[in-house]
A and B are shown apart, each in its own frame.
Chain A
Amino acid sequence: MPDLLLELLSEEIPARMQARAADDLKKLVTDRLVDAGLVYEGARAFATPRRLALWVQGLPVMQPAVREERRGPRVGAPEKAIEGFLKSAGLTSIEQAKIERDAKKGAFYVAVIERPGRATIDLLAEILPDVIRTFPWPKSMRWANGSLNWVRPLHSIVATFGPETEEPDIVPFAVDGIAAGDITRGHRFLAPEPFAVRRLDDYVAKLERAKVVLDAARRQEIILADAKNLAFAQGYELVEDAGLAAEVAGLVEWPVVLMGAFDESFLSIPPEVIRTTIRNNQKCFVLRKPDGSLAPRFILVANTEPADGGRAIVAGNERVIRARLADAKFFYETDLKTPLERRLPKLKEIIFHEKLGTQAERVERIERLARELAPAVGADPDKAARAARLAKADLVTEMVGEFPELQGLMGKYYALAQGEEESVASALEEHYKPLGPSDRVPTDPVAVAVALADKIDTLVGFWAIDEKPTGSKDPYALRRAALGVIRIVLENALRLNLQPILWRHFASVRRDEALAEAVAALEPLQRDIEALSASDIELAIKLEVLISRSGTAHVMRGSLVQAHSDLGEAGSLLAFFADRLKVQLREQGARHDLVDAVFALEGQDDLLLIVRRIEALARFLDSEDGKNLLAGYKRATNIIRIEEKKDGRTYAGAPRAELYDQAEERELAAAIAEAKREAEAAVAREDFEQAMQAIARLRPFVDAFFDKVTVNVDMPARRENRLKLLNEIREATRAVADFSKIEG
């Protein structure tokens, strides 16, 4: 079976695009082959800084022939129908069709259409240029007078097709004047002469002789192995960095690892700064001494075998790194001269978001919120406020200006240097965490307060200006912020009622004192207000009535209405948290229906309690009692639902004791009352196990009721009372969860 070898040789492809491009090339070509009915045995794609290559193994020589039978009109049908059939089937006379019969229709014509398969090489000559012309580079360009778009100018194409035993054919096509052939070149400097290739095996071998390692994974292995050995030989240890190794593997076709040194005196700069400088600007690795501290050495990966053994290259890189570190040291020392506090005025010049004001305003809000949250997370409010105040000051330092990824970390160093308290200083770094699902969560209470304040401010801010994430669009990473809040709360086992916190913060974001006053006045009435849905002047009046009842000072009507609407926004944000929590719990294997069953209860804004309740519910439902009670619950609600539908009414409200007729009714009623009382008390103590157990005790009474009592009796009053009693089961379970959301 023949194989395809394709190589696209161009000017240097950006490292970050290579792996994706190789995958795309493989997928695009093989998809098209499969579409054409060409099955292949295997495919591999490769990328180097200058080439994309693809190997498709075991293709058929020909596309399979296609045979199709098309049913036509019956024998003896009108001339017109026959003509139409001949035309559509591509026949010239009706003699070419065969005649078949079936029991119903009798004799009819069948045309047999046979399309011979085309030669695979001819199909390739169509597919390959198509794929090249429409290749999905993230950014592409034109050059000279051409019209082809490629990542950088494309120089040559190898496209051979043939079986192992024979000289392969060249797939005959050209793109923008570049004809496919079998000639490629090796390393730009070490082996620039052209040579012919046949198939993957000789291609890889010849490239290797021409100082090109085709496989990126192998280049990366070589880099890591050589770097480790070189470090070890000098008594150091490589600080491994897989991301950097992958990037460097995309910058070289022939990796040669060399070691350079820098002056010990630079080690006074924070090690992260040295590493960032050397890594980001120079794409070099750093090394550790045996004691774990940074060594004054670095490892560079050259793309050549230098004639002088690397002396010039090492000297050149050392000079650049010296200059870079001198810059970094200068930035660091300059930054140290200005206390963070004195940088705050500069934050007034940085716009955080057009509609949300400057970083300075944001810092003020975060400071207020961090102070407010501090007691609940066990932090000293003054320290939390101090840390929040300084949290963004390093954004206007020289160092962070140069290396934005060092934000937070530099804040910590500068804060420590100016004598800030340890927990305040580390909060400057920690408050950005967690940066992703695998990042760790801050645990020091001061850092926790600032981290929560920072994220909640972001969320409330974008909620207030209606920039909520939609579908796949989440430009401000609000999902990440919400998940951050959730993880900080859960992993630190924090008790927070989010709704009022969010509600109050809307007033902060809106920079509206009157609104803040209104929210403060309305807060004790939150539950009542949530029930109000009107949005006009009547609402304001209702709110005022509420306010006057609470005896608070006069608040402007406009603010009342805004406060009401913000409570709704806070609710919507809370629902967003709920969604994120659901996703999070589901990923951890929790049943989504249990999550829903707890969220369906009113006033759930304490994430920790929600999760505990879900856990207790899951354990309960795993028990025999839990399963049976759920069955009883379902049975009860099914009966009520059917009867309510039949009667066109609901059966809510307390049943009347005097209408009980059988012992099972009375016993169930008593058990429900008891279970409800116990469950509610247990929930109030936040003892969800106990609450579940209380509910579980209903089980024998429910079973006995269904066993002995007939609900649909002829006496309407008694029937109604029994339905109401069943409804009480439903009500009782609501103390722990909304059982109607539970599946199974």
Chain B
Amino acid sequence: MRTGNISGVDAVFSHMDAPGHKKFELLLQGLMGDLYRYAYWKCRDRGQAEELVQETYLRAWKSINSLRDADSAKSWLFTIFRREYARQFERKRLEMQDVEEMTELPDVKISFDTRTESFVLRRALSTLSDDYREPLVLQVLGGFNCGEIAGMLGISASAVMTRLFRARKQLRELLASDEVDTALRGASA
């Protein structure tokens, strides 16, 4: 109890017995990390990502009874996030941080990959347009297949595949990987 963290909330939370609470707890324990990271890459702002993830879970709780299939939990949660993002930010058209700020991750705790390679990759990822970056993040980080991404983005699966192809191609060009570039030129010819 004698720390800066509000630890007592864990005990209160674990003793909640409302219907759907266990399901909610699993969603929180299992998916919050990936959801936050997706939110970060979507918003490119840590504070907005945190706020949106909190709102997403509040909304998820309100409709927790509509979640019946554990296999679809992740896409269900990410879809709630996307709706919340659209509601809060696309309407307001808030300014996003630029690439220079974004690559300097604000969290001082060194608990992520700090290799130069990762830094360069993050920077390259930041330069992709939203249309290309989002499906790539959903696939690589979220583990969704093209059909699932298509459903979430409201576009066709073939459009998703095209975006993913171009996203990887652009990234590799940015990173100037000779071997792959050569192969890519052949693939896109």
Instruction: Indicate whether A and B interact.
Output: no
Q: Which residues of A contact B (CB under 8 A)?
A: none
Q: Which residues of B contact A (CB under 8 A)?
A: none
